[in-house]
Homo-oligomer: A and B are copies of this chain.
Amino acid sequence: MRKFYVNLAERKYPILTGQGILSEAGTLLAEAGFDRAPIVISNAKIWRLHGAVLERSLKKTFGPATLIRIGDGERYKNHSTLLAIYEGMFRAHADRRSWILAFGGGVVGDIAGFAAATFMRGIPYAIAPTTLLSQVDSSIGGKVGINTKEGKNLIGAFHQPSAVIADIGVLKTLPARELASGLYEVVKSAAIRSEPLLSRLERKLPEILRCDAGEMEPVVVNTAKIKAEVVASDERETGLRMVLNYGHTVGHAFETATGYRRFKHGEAVAWGMLAALGYGREIGLLQPEECARLTRLIHRIGRLPSLQGIGVEDLWSALTRDKKFRGGSIRLILLRRLGEAEIVSGIRADSLRQFLRKFLHESSHAETRRRGDGTNAGK
């Protein structure tokens, strides 16, 4: 088992990773300071797969826990689910001394964290993340919230967990596409902060895609550490933390332009990174060989859903809903070299728009070619 800390201004909290540590969750959470049974918030699918192990461990340490199950998927991250969670908590006689354990992926973590942030003006919570994406990214940083029909995460808070228990073994039950989606976020973190992690991904990709625990654990730990460091230095996202959004601005636009149906979040981020890489090379910020190296790694992880049918107008109209894109001069996060990102201001809207038109055209074209000659490296 590995343990490291997220250092915040007011306090620090541990992130624990390891193969099979879910079966010791009770002990680990007691060590983190919890002294009674939690209110577990999970979804039906995760609970069926791994609920028994967690439940047994919690029971041994704390006695029986309350379980609140929510629907599986982003579309349940909304106000009615939140109200159902509150309802379940009141029914279980939760009070100021209660705490929540979020057990699931990003959706569960975000909504359970927001319930914790707002129940009786804030109670503690911990997260046992069960997807790669949530282990390396969404569980760390305290951003919690829900979606509205106007957009994702528009209602929320900053509420830091008191502990994160990431069981690497659980990742084995992830569908391949879900795992790949998480790996794109791993690549993003490596791209902005750690060339060595990027090299490791290149060397060990087959083992990682197989979820070999020995190879997966250092990847999770190193990626989570990158997030933890960035968050610690900028808890409320006023500056540095923005670099974590590498690939996300254009990625979000891909999601919006396709009504959130075509891409998983990580896949959209992958396309967003490919676009940012291309644009960085075009304006001479990034060396062509570095661009090619990262592009290759992204394509090795899996086959991304196609961009076909997305016109530059759709993409641009999605992009310009983003405040960063108002006015003629815009701001993007780009790589200066592999492992080092910077916020580039003063980008001219027309130059970016022209690049995206070309990018959409070439990506659709390359894809057709890849399909045609059967050289798809994905799984």
Contact = CB atoms under 8 A, between A and B. Distances in A.
Interface of A: 79, 83, 86, 90, 95-97, 117-122, 143, 145, 148, 150, 153-158, 323
A117 B156 CA distance: 8
Nearest to A83: B79
A141 to B, nearest CB: 11
Contact of A155 (B97, B118, B143, B153): B118
Contacts of A323: 95-97
6 contacts: A86-B154, A95-B323, A118-B118, A118-B155, A118-B157, A120-B156
Q: How many copies does the complex hold?
A: 2
A86 B158 CA distance: 18
A77 to B, nearest CB: 14
Contacts of A90: 148, 150, 154
Given A121-B143, A323-B95, A86 B148 contact: yes
Nearest to A122: B157
Given A79-B83, A83-B79, A323-B95, A145 B121 contact: yes
Contacts of A86: 148, 154-155
Q: Which of A119, A145, A157, A158 has the most CB of B within 10 A?
A: A157
Nearest to A326: B95
A142 to B, nearest CB: 10
Contacts of A83: 79
Contacts of A121: 143, 145, 153, 156-158
Contacts of A157: 117-118, 121-122, 157
Nearest to A156: B121
A157 B122 CA distance: 6
A325 B119 CA distance: 21
Given A86-B148, A90-B150, A118-B145, 4 more contacts: A95-B323, A96-B323, A117-B157, A121-B145
A231 to B, nearest CB: 14
Nearest to A95: B323
A142 B193 CA distance: 38
A150 B88 CA distance: 12
Contacts of A95: 323
Nearest to A114: B118
A158 B122 contact: yes
Contact of A118 (B97, B150, B156): B156
A96 B96 CA distance: 30
A188 to B, nearest CB: 21
A86 B119 CA distance: 19
A241 to B, nearest CB: 12
Contacts of A97: 323
Contacts of A155: 86, 118-120
Nearest to A117: B157
A269 B79 CA distance: 34
Contacts of A143: 121
Contacts of A148: 86, 90
A91 to B, nearest CB: 9
A121 B156 CA distance: 4
Contacts of A154: 86, 90, 119-120
A118 B146 CA distance: 10
Contacts of A122: 157-158
**8 closest Cβ pairs, A-B complex:** A121-B156, A90-B150, A118-B155, A121-B157, A95-B323, A121-B158, A118-B157, A120-B154
A83 B150 CA distance: 12
